[in-house]
Structures are given as structure tokens and as C-alpha cells.
Amino acid sequence: MFFFKFLAHEDEYKWCDYIFQNNVKKQKELEKNIDPGNPNYQFLLMIREYQSQIDYRPLKMSDQVVDNRISVCVRKRPLNKKEISRKEIEVITIPNRDHLIVHQPQVKVDLTKYLDNQKFRFDYTFDENTSNEMVYKFTAQPLVKTIFEQGFATCFAYGQTGSGKTHTMGGDFTGRNQNCASGIYALTASDVFKMQHSQQYRKLNLSVSCSFFEIYGGKVFDLLKHKALLRVLEDGKKEVQVVGLQELPVSSESDVLELIRQGTDMRTAGATSANSNSSRSHAVFQIVLRKDKKLWGKFSLIDLAGNERGQDTGNSDRQTRHEGAEINKSLLALKECIRAMAKNSQHVPFRTSKLTLVLRDSFIGEKARTCMIAMISPGMSSCEHTINTLRYADRVKELGADEGGSSPPMGDDELMLRTDGTGDDGDNEDADLSLVCSRNVSKFNVVLHLWNKKFCNLRGPIKIHST
């Protein structure tokens, strides 16, 4: 048992002790919920042990937003009710603002269990506690200015079905009810209106309009026009036109919310093993700026169909196989177009799929900017899907990297807590002690070391005695 004896400053001690005891209590409650009878119990203990050594420095709302032409981010959702009832274990750890670790359970020939801790690095990583507003700040919001400067912006959510794409783009769900005001569609529109009326852009007299369509089975349907079938053609100027697409003028957030609700209700859905109401189409919500009826800028916000394989749809009929083939074809085409965009290539293969054809403007020109949000599920049963999603995202990140290349992930020695008294000072030392404590109940010496260092820097030394 540990006893603390401060030379002074009892108030600091009481507050520090309160934080520590509170987190110990929470951790004990969590441990009670761990069932030793769970077949994955050993893996869970190994993951907890690994996590207990990590120096957590999560992304904060106050962190600076980096301006990239192609940005790739990852968002982890929390375990859902179905996963909790199955006593799923989480295999995803997000240690800081740009790293992610997948603890992939493995078994050797002699049946010894071990973890393959695969590390990935992206522009931003969002954990399960991150709000839609925070995700928006680091993804779509920096792109809003692009369309006011006669550019084309694209933000798309990618991942397996049930990973949270529609939640992120369309808004939070409460049961079957969706709060569209909290999604990236609506948050983007809100900032567009603010910028439209700002002193800098007011004099341009730009009008705002919206369209909402889906791409299903290689065909395009207008979600604001009773799913009318649309034709996609190239005109004599080599410009792509979606013939018959309804583009409705909007002047307020309430106008946009009504269109989002109307379009979302019309989307094509189907059952998969992961989601009984899975979106089987790519939904494209576009915010268009015009000046004297001529196109000025366009923001395409896309909720992609789930990237699961055919066997995961739970049905092997012809229609389901065709759905999966079209989805995979369009996702591959999207990656190839981003590759061409990153290289400023003269040839962009946008004709490969309907998705990339209607997004042609988003891949051509120096004023085109793209953000990808890779959505992942945290459970062990989704581990293979999660790794596939992350590899796709990692490939997109490499394509969009500067000539110097993308930064590789940190090693364990850089991600773990330092116990030798060395390390960065300043802002880095302001890591959330409460979070660190909750992850390190078994590492009392490390926690005490951090507290001692913290208080020494503030006012004076703390003497630690143990018996």
C-alpha cells in the first residue's frame, strides 16, 4: 500500500488523490465485467497490458488543423449493443492524434496465443469519444473555403457496413431517429452560409443550391425527385452532366435539413450480416455555389456503400453479388482517381465507374481537395474488415503524400510511457492524467512518477513513501 506525504500544498494532494481513487474505482468496475469464461479472455488481458504502458495523448479540439490537399483520417466507433451482448472485446487502440493500433489476435502452431500489434499513421485519428463536431473540424471544415475560391471539395466516408459512416455524414441516431443537424452534411452547409454572408465573400453575390442522389448498381437516382433514374453524359466541352438532376436553391440551415431528411429516407438499403438496414448505395450530397447561374464551386459529401465482401452480405443471390461487384468496382476506381489527382496526371480514369464519373471535377485541377474518413468497428469479429479498411486508407494516404513521402508509424519505444524521468516538457506534459491513470492502475510507480514530475514543475517537490 502506498502513502503520500506532501511537504506542502494539501489542496493539490487532495485533488490528485481524488482523481486517482476515482479512476481506480472505475477500473475495478470494468474488471468486474471481464468474464474469465470468455474464450478471448487471454487476448483481452494481453491488450489491457499493452494499453497500460501507452502514453496517451489524444486529439484535442484546440489542436491546430493542418492544411492538406488530400487528407486521410480514421474514426473508431464504440462497441454497439449487439457487440456488447456478445461480449466482444475491443482490438483498437488510439494512443494519440495521428496513430492507431490494431491488436490482431493470433494463435501459433502450439496453440500459444499472441497479439500482432499493427500500427498505422494518418493525418488524424478519432477515438470512440469524439463528437461529430470535432470530426468535422478536422475533416470537412477546412475544405469549405475551397469552393468559395472556385475550387472543388470532396469528403467521403469509407468503411464496412455498420462502422458509422451514415452516423458521421448524416447525423447522430437515437434509435431509428436521426438528428440530421449533427452530421457533416448539415455542419458543412452551416459554414457555407456563414461564409456566404461574411465580409470577405458577400460582394460575390453567390447563390447556394443542393442536390442529393445515389448510385446503386451502376445507375444514378435522384433522391429529391422520387428516385427518378438519371443519365450521366459528357457534353461537347468534355464536361460531365447529370441530366435531370434536381438542384434546389437553399437559403438557410432548415432548408438543407429538410432536403437531407427527404433524401436519406429514399436511400436503397439491404440486409447484411453486420447490419439489418445497410446502405447498399453511394449517397452523394452536393452543395453548389453559382454566380450569375454559372458554376463557381462545388462540395461533394459522400456516404459510400459498405466495403464488405460478397460472403458477408448473408445472401448469395444474383442481385446481392451484383451489388457487391459494383461497389468494389467503384471503390477501386475512386482510389485510382485519387492516385492520378495526387500526381497531377494528365489522364484521370474517372470513366471507370459511375461514382468517379459524376465526381470528375473533384479530381481535376489544382483547386481540387479531398478528405477521406475511414470508419472502423472496434470489435474482434470485425478485425479483418478493419485491417482491410485501414490498408485502403493507408494506400490513399501514400498516394496523397508529398514527394518526401508519408511519415511511418512510431515504434513501441516512442508510444510508451517514459519511466526514466526524461521526455518532452511543455504542452506534451499536459497529457490528461485522469486518462493515463485509468489505463495504468497496475502501474502505480509510473503514475506516481508522472504526478511527482507534474507537481515539482508547478510548485515544489512531493515526497513519496511506500510501506
162 is in an annotated binding site: yes
pLDDT at 451: 52
- Counting every residue written for the chain, the total comes to 467
Distance, CA of 177 to CA of 203 (rounded, Å)? 40
DSSP one-letter string for 276-341? TTEE-SEEEEEEEEEETTEEEEEEEEEEPPP---GGGGS--SHHHHHHHHHHHHHHHHHHHHHHHH
Please check if 278 is assigned to a binding site.
no
Residue 107 in any domain: the answer is yes
Give one DSSP letter per residue of 267-279, joined into a string.
--EE--SS-TTEE
For residue 69, what is its C-alpha cell?
490537399
- Give the CATH number, domain containing residue 228: 3.40.850.10
pLDDT in tens, 406-464: 678 888 878 887 655 454 544 444 444 444 444 444 444 444 544 544 444 444 444 44
Contact, 72 vs 122, CB < 8 A?
A: yes
Structural domain boundaries, residue 338 = 60-268+278-309+319-402
Q: Does 313 appear as a known binding residue?
A: no
Q: Residue 199 falls within a domain, yes or no?
A: yes
pLDDT score at 67: 86
Helix, coil or strand: residue 80: coil
Residue 262 marked in a binding site: no
Name residues of the chain where pLDDT drops below 70: 1-35, 175, 269-279, 308-317, 401-406, 418-467
Q: Residue 219's beta-bridge partner residues?
A: 216
Whether residue 259 lies inside any domain: the answer is yes
Q: What is the pTM of this model?
A: 0.81
Residue 436 lies in a domain: no
For residue 324, say whether it is annotated as part of any ligand binding site: no
Q: What's the distance, CA 391 to chain centroid?
A: 14
Instruction: Give residue 457's pLDDT.
Output: 46
- How many folded domains does the chain comprise? 1
Tell me whether residue 168 is annotated as binding.
no
Question: Do the beta carbons of residue 124 and residue 141 sit within 8 Å?
Answer: no
Grid cell locating 182? 449533427
Tell me phi and psi for residue 69, to 5 degrees: -70, -40
Note the pLDDT of residue 427.
47
Contacts of 202 (CB under 8 A, 6+ apart): 196
Please name which of 368, 443, 454 lies closest in space to residue 149, comparing C-alpha atoms. 368
* Residue 379 annotated in ligand binding: no
153 assigned to some structural domain: yes
Whether 446 maps to a domain, the answer reads no
List residues bridging with 102 in a β-sheet: 92, 118
**Cell for 178?**
436521426
The CA-based angle 32-33-34, given to 5 degrees, is 90
* Beta pairing partners, 283: 214, 303
What is the model's pLDDT at position 314? 53
Q: Is 294 annotated as a binding residue?
A: no
pLDDT confidence of residue 320: 76
Is 243 part of any domain? yes
